[in-house]
Amino acid sequence: MSFDYDLFVIGGGSGGVRAARVAAGDTGAKVALAEEDRYGGTCVIRGCVPKKLMVFASEYADMVEDAKSYGWSIAPGRFDWTAFRGKLEAELDRLEGIYRNLLKNAGVESFDQRARLVDPHTVELADGSRKTARHILLATGGRPVKPDMPGAELGITSNDIFHLPELPKSILIVGGGYIASEFAGILNGLGVAVTQFYRGAQILRGFDNEARGLVSEEMRQRGIDLHLGTNILEMARDGDGIRVKATNGTERLFDQVMFATGRAPNADDMGLEALGVERGRKGEVVVDEYSQTAVPSIHAIGDVTDRVNLTPVAIREGMAFVETVFKGNPTPVDHELIPTAIFTQPEMGTVGLSEEDAAEQEPIEVYSTSFKPMQQSFAGRADRVLMKLVVSKATRKVLGCHIVAPGAGEMIQLAGVAVKMGATKEDFDRTVAVHPTMSEEIVTMKAPVRSA
């Protein structure tokens, strides 16, 4: 049977674009890609990239204050959201253009419209045309969802935050994951009065308890009004604001309410169920270790599979798919020991197991230190940082590394190499410290603070 294409990719985010261009460029496959929104996906257009630029913007107020302590005569200025947003949008336009050119230069045919599946080898585009392909790759990502509650339509999500005409004077952020906690720090740094509600006992569920506890404490020190064990009962419009009734008995007025209470895979109304493609409890596309669905010609990568929802992971999954399907080199996706950073303020970097998860598996030793870093301490700040290693008693391997500090994301990338290689605590000990740095503490902790 002949097909229009060797591969048809649905979704123009980081994972889909990488798979499409590598399949076309490296193997000569005839490839097409359909994207109904902007190229670059969540990460480039409404996630990692604009968020990190907002993190940078939000940190300058502290820098100005700290500079005074170092002898600089600098007066605090006023943050201009309109000027920043204009430059941000121009940067996102530039990056989207790069993604489009990567596809074009690799010979990938692009369709700027929605696509759904008709049969295991056929997709139908929004204009009614149909295209056939030997292989179909779903890379449609995910989307933020609002809770089912009275007045939820009055709130915004992380998708909307970049497009506000002006910054609110006050905002309530609902949620305790990394998106909620990152934007709490960002908006607080930009001068917005930030309140954060989270229904759980501590933010950043699933991360190391000691690390997330310090992040929570530091967020409060920086002026974020964080309420744990708290949720919204109802919301209603009140003049130009939103009146919120909370489970803690309070009733307050906010200029904006942002929900960061979860994300859902973009797999609805794509014709998957009729073809026998299995969907999981959250609506995710179920795949095996080679990203193949129950239908052999259909694969899926990235957030739509709800495995590890990180951009570099989606890219790795896309590369493994090409190796397996187009290069004849079956390559399972490696989801073990993935380093990651949470761009809260302070940042958290983590790789491997938390102390709690490691202790459930085997006897461990914990090496941990928390201190005031030199730069902030000199400026009169009370900020604290954390360096932590979780070590197997039996093998001496470092099972987890957790850092809470400015630049933790940069540090954990390098620590991640050592942990991935199976470094032991003694390997860390043998490494000479770089002095004076915060990260030198990672290789100078000699005695465990506790065992479990």
Written as one string, the DSSP assignment of 239-307 is: TTEEEEEETTS-EEEESEEEE-S-EEES-TTSSHHHHT--B-TTSPBP--TTSB-SSTTEEE-GGGG-S
Residues 6+ apart with CB under 8 A from 227: 195, 196, 197, 198, 246, 248
Catalytic annotation present for 163: no
User: Which helix (H) or strand (E) covers residue 187, if one does?
Assistant: helix 178-189
The structure tokens listed for 356 are 């709690």
- What is the number of other CB atoms lying within 10 angstroms of the CB of residue 250? 12
Active-site hit among 135, 163, 402, 435: 435
Amino acid at 322: V
Tell me which long-range contacts 420-423 makes (C-beta under 8 A, separation of at least 24): 420/337, 420/339, 420/351, 422/397, 423/397, 423/398
Long-range contacts of 309-317 (CB under 8 A, 24+ apart): 309/142, 309/263, 310/338, 310/340, 311/14, 311/15, 311/42, 311/43, 311/47, 311/48, 312/338, 313/338, 314/13, 314/14, 314/15, 314/18, 314/139, 315/14, 315/15, 315/18, 317/15, 317/291
Per-residue b/e over 402-427, b at no fewer than 16 CB within 10 Å?
A: bbbbbbbbebbeebbebbeeebebee
Helix axes 81-106, 48-69, angle to 10 degrees: 140
Name 245's bridge partners.
234, 251
336 contact partners, CB below 8 Å, separation of at least 6: none
Q: What is the DSSP string of 383-399?
A: --EEEEEEEETTT-BEE
Asked if omega into 265 is within 30° of 0 (cis), the reply is no
Q: Residues with catalytic annotation?
A: 435
